[in-house]
Structure formats: structure tokens, C-alpha cells
Structure 1
């Protein structure tokens, strides 16, 4: 049996969690939280890092920081996970969905401007599969119309974007705010977990207050105020030291994890490219401005029936492959609020995209087996 995903343990998670327990500091914002913050900020150039209990929480913090209110409009792709949308719906926003690109499931950057109105407050690009949107185009629009950009970088740890200026920047370091996930299906994991990156200085102080349940507790412990109290809205967004300790073991091994995942991704691509790309089905496309962090390997089938046949054929051979998102603009919750705009590419990906197993401990012979099953199938 080849599962779709298997969480990878480096071997140090339990040791660091044991250490956290015996320091007597189990609640958040302790030793291991600090180690993770410093590592991520230094490596990727984020303005400020705050670990969260999930990427969902990071997105909800972003919506609070932007002071999203009823009547505000937020532009985002339809082809994304529901957390991207929920964070802003919870604050009363009206969602304006953008279609996907023809060559990639990410949002079509050239279709954003026509959707901007006087009510638009933010654009939320999702770096699908860890592959960058054309963030220069998005930031240019944000500057032109005085909008905020929140990068949904849930899948984008160790992914980069090269702009028109030739500078290579980490995804999540470019928008005003960015949200990451460390869910067990991601490259770097803590079971559940996430992070908010704050790149615009105007949000840094308030972000810490929201993170600490609406109090200035962090400033108190740094000796910046003589007592702390309730100064703003907020919630319990920060994770415990147990989660941070687990994450630290993963971050220490980030390079090795990434090398192995890229090796698997390249084996899939090289094994399937000559056989199927553009003929039987389509393989992932990486734009010139983007890098590949090997978060996932997917196929884009020619039709929904073909995808169903592939899933069944792999299942017969005890290989678990899955489809991914359903277009949010057609969801039971939002279809009546969306209007009648057709988002053809988002619908195509909903019906035709298929994810193959990809995880650290997947063996090369397992990938070869999957490739051969696909080649032998009557598609």
C-alpha cells in the first residue's frame, strides 16, 4: 500500500518536546517559539514572525489586522482551500473570486484589475503547490489602488519568486502579510500549526497584541510596560511550546527534507513527461519567475472521467491518489453570493486535477511503480 501522505519525523521531535516539558514552560512564546521565529525571519527575510496554531489562525489574524468590515471586498482565487475565504467572511467581507490561470491553478493575475472597485480592500494570492503567483503584477495593482496584499503561502515554505528587478525573494516576504501552514500534509510540519509573517511595520505591534489575546503581555515581559492589560481585540492564536519544539526539529532538517522531496518530484516528472505531457494529460507548470518546493506532484486530466479512471486504477494497485479543491464560487455556502461570472479554469482544475503520493519516505521504486501503472492504464 502506498498512502497519499505519511508525516516525516526527523528523530529529534520527541527529544525537543521532552526538553520543553522539563523546562517548566509549556505555554507559548518560550524557548522553541523564539528559535523558530529567529530561524524563519533570518532565512527568508520576513519582517516579523508569529507562530500560530494553524494557517487558518494566521489568515484570521491578517483579516483582523486589516480591519476588514462588512461591505469590504476581498479578491482571491476560487480554487483554494476554504480557510482562505473563511478568514475574511468571518469579518463580514464580500469575496470576489478570480479564475485560475490556464497553465497553473494559481489565480490569473491579468484578471484581477477588472474586479477592483471602491470597496476592494485586499488581494489574497494563493501560491498553489508552492509555486509563486506573479507577485510583481499583484503588488503593482495594490500600490495603484491602495490595497493590501495577504499572501496565502500555506504550501510555499522554501519557495521563491524572481521579480522584474532580478531579485529573488522568498514567498511570504513580499506582501504586507503572509500566512504559512505546518499541517501534517505540508513539507515542514508540526501536526497542526502555522505562522503569520508581518512585513509591513505598521502592523507589527498590533499583530503581537492580537496574538496575545488582545493584551500587551509580550511588551510586559520584555520590560517595555510595567503591567499588561486588555488593549485590543484578539484571541489565543499562539501555539504551545510542545508544538514549537516539534516544529524546531523539522526546521533544523529543512534542507534535507527539501532535497528528498525534490528528488521525488523530479522522478515523477522525468518518468511521465515524454509519455503523457500535453498528450494524454498535463503535468505541473513552473513559470520562469517561480521556483519549485516540491510540495505536491499533480496531473491535470483531460476530463473528469479520466481522473476517476486513474484514481480507480491506482486504487486497484493499492496506491492512494486524491483530487483537490472544489471551486469555492460553486460551493453550497457561496454560490448564491458569487453572481453569474464563469470561472472556467477553476472549474476545470476542480474536475480534472489529481494529486499523486509525495512524501519524504516514499521510495524510488514506489514512484516507478506508480509511473508504470499510469503508463499501462488505458487512459
Structure 2
């Protein structure tokens, strides 16, 4: 069976983790944390980065930083993972779900203005499959209405909007280093801060509401409890693992791009039977996901079953959050047909660095055989 995902190890992870253990400093915010943060800031142009134990934690920090209050409204796509919504729900906010675009599962920026009310506080675009939302439209709307923009860039490491790194456009952004992502730490995440107003407070929230980080830099002579916060920072062992991955990002990305391009080339002939991924002109592709869009839920189920019978593990993805058991009674009742469409029809194909060309060709041949039989 060709798995959907297989975590890739560069070979340096265990070595760096041993260094971290041997250093005698295992808790967070040590040398490997600083190495990761510096590399990411320099490579992608973020003003400040803070490693977190997950992307969810990074979004929780963002929700605190914008001072989310009960009754605030947060606009985000319905077609996303629950972690996009939970951090704001936990602070009492109301989620206002936007529909997806016709061409991509990303939120439709043209629908945002109609959703804004006096209670709206922020827009949370999700860059699905590492493909940029229309950030110019979103930032223009946010600036016009004095709203915060928090990019959910969980899938978007090493991807760009008009030559600007995703995660560096909005006021704040959150990344994931979960084992299913391009760059991994098992679990792990990062908050990227692009607005200077948040830098000092973010570090305090990250350090459990204390100014401990400033104390360790020698900026103050003692530290204390100065704000709300939590234990958001990961251990040095996690950061050491992540650093080995980040050092190899170009190598990892090159191979993922080759796999993605081979899928695209081999399946192009089916484009009138099944939809392939669409890339807007303002976006780059970081080869996080290669997906297909089937005609309906029945076709998707049949395709996934056919692939499984032929030794390939393919999977669907999100279910519309506005129809979820938890939120359907809280949703305002608007129909979001495109979010539902992607929930019913999207199939993700295996994509990981060690996937061979032969395996990709087996997968694409199997898909062609399925559609040959279906026609």
C-alpha cells in the first residue's frame, strides 16, 4: 500500500536532539529555538517569530493579541480545520463563515465585505494547499474597515503572494510543523508577527504571561506576571528536530515540486473528467497537496475505494464547519454551496518526499483506469 503520508527525516534530527539533551537546557527558548526563529525571520521576512507547540497554539496567541472579546465576530472560511475557529471560540467570539472560491477551496474575498458588521474584529484567511488567498483584496478590505488580518498559513511554508512570503502579509500568521506538513517536528507550530505593536506582548503571552524572556536577555533585573498567557513554547528537543528540517527545506521542496509536477503532467488529459488544482496568477505553489475535484460525493467515494483496491491510500479532507455538529445551530443560516461542494468532492493524493516517480505513475495510471471505466 502506498501511504498517504510518510514523515521524512533528513538524518540530522537525532544528532541535533542529542546536542539539545547534552546541553542541559531542554525547556523552550534555548539555542535551537533561537536558531529556528532566526532562520525563518531571515528567509521569509517576518518581523518576529515565536515557535509554538502547534499551529493551534499560534492561533490562540493571535486571538489573545488582538484582544478577542465575547461577542466579537471573526470572518473565516467554512472549508477549514477546526483549529482555525477554536482559538476564537475559546475567547467567546462568534465565527462568521465565508464561502469558498469557485476555482480554489480558499475563501472568496469578494464575499467578505457583505459579512462585516460593527462587531467584526478580524479576518482569518486560510491558504489551502499552500496556495495564496487574494491577500491584496483582503488587506484592502481590512484596512478600510480597521480589521486585523491573521493568516492561517498552516499549509503555506515556502509559498508566496506576489513575491511576498505567505504569513508575512497579514498582521499575524500561524504555521504548522505537524508531521503531515512539508517541514515537520512531529507536532509544532510558529506565530509570525508582522506588526511591531504585537512584538513585545507576544513574547510575554508566549512565556506564560511573564516578562521572563526579557529577563534572560538582561533587559530587566527580575521578572514577574504581567499579562495573561500560557505555556505555548515547545521544548528544545522539538526545536532541534525542526532545525534539521529547516536546514534542508530547499532539498525537501525541490522533490515535492517534482512530484506535484509529475501528477499534473500525467493527469492533465483527465481535466475534462476531473478537476486538477488551480493556481491563481498571484500565487506560487509549495507542493503541499495535490488534490482532485470529483463531480460529486459518490464519484469521490468510488475513486478512493478504487485506489485503495489498487494499493493507494488517498483521502478526502475537511467537512464544512458551518454544518458541523458543534456549530450548525450557531451558524446564521446562510448557504455556503462551494464549501459544501469541496467537502463532498475533494480527494488528496499521496505526496511526500520519498514518494518515487514509479509510485506516482502507478497512482496516475490507476486514476486513468478508473475514469476510463467510468466513461
Does TM, scored on the shorter chain, surpass 0.5? yes
1:322 aligns with 2:315: yes
Summarize deviations over 1:186-226 as a string: whole Å, max 9, x none.
00000000000011011100000000000000000111111
Corresponding residue number in structure 1 for 2:126:
126
1:345 aligns with 2:303: no
Q: C-alpha distance in 2, partners of 1:90/1:286?
A: 34
1:357 aligns with 2:350: yes
1:274-353 matches, within 5 Å, as: 274=269, 276-277=270-271, 279-353=272-346
Give, in angstroms, the shift of residue 312 of structure 1. 0.5
1:232 to 220, 227, 234: 227
1:171-250 matches, within 5 Å, as: 171-250=166-245
Give, in angstroms, the shift of residue 343 of structure 1. 0.4
Q: C-alpha distance in 2, partners of 1:61/1:273?
A: 42
Q: Which moved more, 1:245-254 or 1:333-342?
A: 333-342
Paired residue total:
372
Corresponding residue number in structure 2 for 1:375:
368
Using structure 2 for the length normalisation, give the TM-score: 0.99
Q: Indicate the SS of the match to 1:373.
A: helix
Corresponding residue number in structure 1 for 2:34:
34
Q: C-alpha distance in 2, partners of 1:263/1:293?
A: 11
Corresponding residue number in structure 2 for 1:107:
107
Give, in angstroms, the shift of residue 127 of structure 1. 0.3
4+ residue segments displaced more than 4 Å: none
Corresponding residue number in structure 2 for 1:143:
143
Q: C-alpha distance in 1, partners of 2:59/2:365?
A: 40
Q: Indicate the SS of the match to 2:329.
A: helix
Corresponding residue number in structure 1 for 2:252:
257
Q: C-alpha distance in 2, partners of 1:250/1:85?
A: 28
* Ranges in structure 1 where 5+ consecutive residues have no aligned partner: 163-167
Q: C-alpha distance in 1, partners of 2:7/2:217?
A: 36
Q: Indicate the SS of the match to 1:179.
A: strand
Using structure 1 for the length normalisation, give the TM-score: 0.98
Q: C-alpha distance in 2, partners of 1:21/1:263?
A: 36
Give, in angstroms, the shift of residue 339 of structure 1. 1.9
Structure 1 vs Structure 2 CA RMSD: 0.5
Give, in angstroms, the shift of residue 317 of structure 1. 1.1
Corresponding residue number in structure 2 for 1:152:
152
Q: C-alpha distance in 1, partners of 2:268/2:286?
A: 19
Summarize deviations over 1:35-81 as a string: whole Å, max 9, x none.
00000000000010000000000000000001101000000000000
Give, in angstroms, the shift of residue 330 of structure 1. 0.2
Give, in angstroms, the shift of residue 22 of structure 1. 0.2
